[in-house]
Every structure is written in C-alpha cells, then in structure tokens.
Amino acid sequence: MSAILAVHDLTKAFGGLMAVSDVSFEVQEGEIFGLIGPNGAGKTTLFNMLTGLTRPTAGTVRFLGQDISRKAPAAIARLGMARTFQNIRLFGGMSVLDNVRVPRHALDKVSLWGGVFGTARSRRLERETLASARELVALVGLGDRMDAPAASLPYGARRRLEIARALALAPKILLLDEPAAGMNQAEKEDLSSFIRDIRDRFGLTVLLIEHNVPMVMGLCRSVAVLNFGQLIAQGAPEAIQADPAVIEAYLGVAADA
Ligand SMILES: Nc1ncnc2c1ncn2[C@@H]1O[C@H](COP(=O)(O)OP(=O)(O)O)[C@@H](O)[C@H]1O
Ligand SMILES: [Mg+2]
C-alpha cells in the first residue's frame, strides 16, 4: 500500500479560533480510514479543506502525489475525490435517478457544447451516464424508487442516495461526513457492510468521519482522533481505544459513544 492522501501540518483559523491546528496524517490506498472526535473538533472543517471548499490557513494536502491544497473543488473532484455532507445535500425535488445523473455532468467537459449541438459523442456519453446512474441507484438499494422525488425518501435511503451521487463521480477516494448520524444500531451495521462492499467493488479508499466510536472500531484499519482542532492520537483502532487522551476527550460524550 502507498499513501493516496497525505495531509501535512494542515491548519484553519477562523479569526482567533483554531478549528484545525497542524494536523498531519496519511491515508493508504484501499483502506477505510476513520476520523473521530467530539462535536466541534474540526472534522468537517478538515474535510472542507481536503475538498477545496475551505482554503487552509497553512499546511498542504497531497492527493495522488499532487498538491491540491489550493485547488478549486471541481478540480479536486476531477482528480478523483468525492464526498458526502454531514447535512444531506440532495436536490429534493428531482428524482432519485436524476440526483445521481447530475454530478458526472458537472465534471464532463463536453457536456456544454455536446449538449448544445447534440454530437454523437455527447449522445453516447448521455446513454452511458444514464446506464451507470441506474446501476448505482440499484446498488444502494433504491432500484424501485428511481423516479421518486429524493425528498420523499426516508432518512436512511437519502443517506444512501447521497453516497450513490458521490460514487457517480467515479472517485478514487470517498469522504463520508457522519454518514451514520441519526441511524439506529441495525442501520449502522448495514451501513458498515455497505461501505466495505463499495470499497471492494470500486477499489476505493474511504475516509470516514464518525461520531460513533464502536462503528469506526469495527470498520477502520487506522483511526485519527481530533479534539479542539488538534490530532491527539492516531493508529490502529485497538490502540486508539485504550489511549488515555482519547478516553478523556470522549468522557463527556461516553453515553452515545
Ligand atoms: N465557517 C466557519 N466560521 C467560523 N467558525 C467555524 C466555521 N466552520 C466551523 N467553525 C468552527 O470550527 C470548529 C470546528 O467545527 P467543525 O469542523 O464543524 O467540527 P466537527 O465537524 O468536528 O463537529 C467549531 O468550533 C466551529 O464552530
Ligand atoms: Mg462535522
């Protein structure tokens, strides 16, 4: 395995608040890497910097050997990084299928001109996009809801649809921001095996933010722990779980952790 993502001294200050402070870690190709920490620890801010939505105050992010720390979100997505959001972002009024057809188009350089002039190439791409969107929707278990408006789906299904939408970008790395939030234990277990399945099927690397410690422990090969913007521990799940600094950071939230 080699590092697909290397984060070095990454820092984000919002005024005087150090949301992320000198954070460094590496994610190996093919692994499921867990990023945990209490609310407000800086996890989402870190994701926002990785995906280009937030410009780092300092530090670098290398993805597939390229420095992406100052690139725009679309450029980073094109390199093969896709994400989901802590607060689900779907087009609620659009159909399930159309939600998954959208992102590919966003990256497709020929879509504008090809779409206008109806070239053979654009028509072929259109067919391929539709076929792969249908496949992805079926893969996340929504094959019988293709034409339903996204907003009409139950919560867990919307979470899965958001993952399908990210997968439509054909990413190399998938960033999931608290995908299990609001799920019960059975749903969390389903989601865990689903994440493992898509990792294997698409040869993905997965970076997973999760508040729920047991879920991360069962799923991840390595784990990094953020607290007040700082990386307080990283390593194998067993070592993390026994780390006094981690236990202390989680004391206040032990009941739901
Ligand atoms: N755009 C922003 N402006 C100012 N402060 C922010 C902004 N985004 C996040 N923060 C602050 O940064 C800290 C980390 O937040 P966040 O990254 O959302 O944490 P987490 O995802 O671990 O819960 C919090 O104190 C939060 O209030
Ligand atoms: Mg967050």
Instruction: List pLDDT tens digits, range 186-213.
Output: 889 989 999 999 999 999 999 999 987 7
pLDDT at 28 over 90: yes
Residues 180 and 248 reside in one and the same domain = yes
Residues 109 and 180 reside in one and the same domain = no
The answer to whether residue 163 sits within a structural domain is no
Residues 113 and 237 reside in one and the same domain = no
- Over residues 176-188, mean pLDDT: 91
Crossing angle for the helix pair 96-107 and 120-139, nearest 10 degrees? 130
pLDDT of residue 128: 83
pLDDT of residue 213: 79
The answer to whether residue 106 sits within a structural domain is yes
Residues 98 and 73 reside in one and the same domain = no
For residues 169 and 103, the answer to whether their CB atoms sit within 8 Å is yes
The answer to whether residue 225 sits within a structural domain is yes
* Higher per-residue confidence, 43 vs 214: 43
pLDDT at 162 over 90: yes
Structural domain boundaries enclosing 221: 3-80+171-253
Mutate to test the pocket of ligand 1, among 12, 17, 21 (most ligand atoms within 8 A of CB): 17
Q: Are strands 3-14 and 17-28 parallel, antiparallel or unpaired?
A: antiparallel
The residue whose CA is least distant from atom 1 of ligand 1 is: 14
pLDDT of residue 99: 94
Which residue type occupies 33? F
- Over residues 221-242, mean pLDDT: 94
Q: Which of 18-32, 152-166, 170-184, 241-255 has the lowest mean pLDDT?
A: 241-255
pLDDT of residue 255: 39
pLDDT of residue 233: 95
pLDDT of residue 254: 46
Q: Is the CB of 69 under 6 A from ligand 1?
A: no
pLDDT at 257 over 60: no
Which residue type occupies 137? V
Closest CA to 68 of 50, 43, 41: 50
pLDDT of residue 249: 84
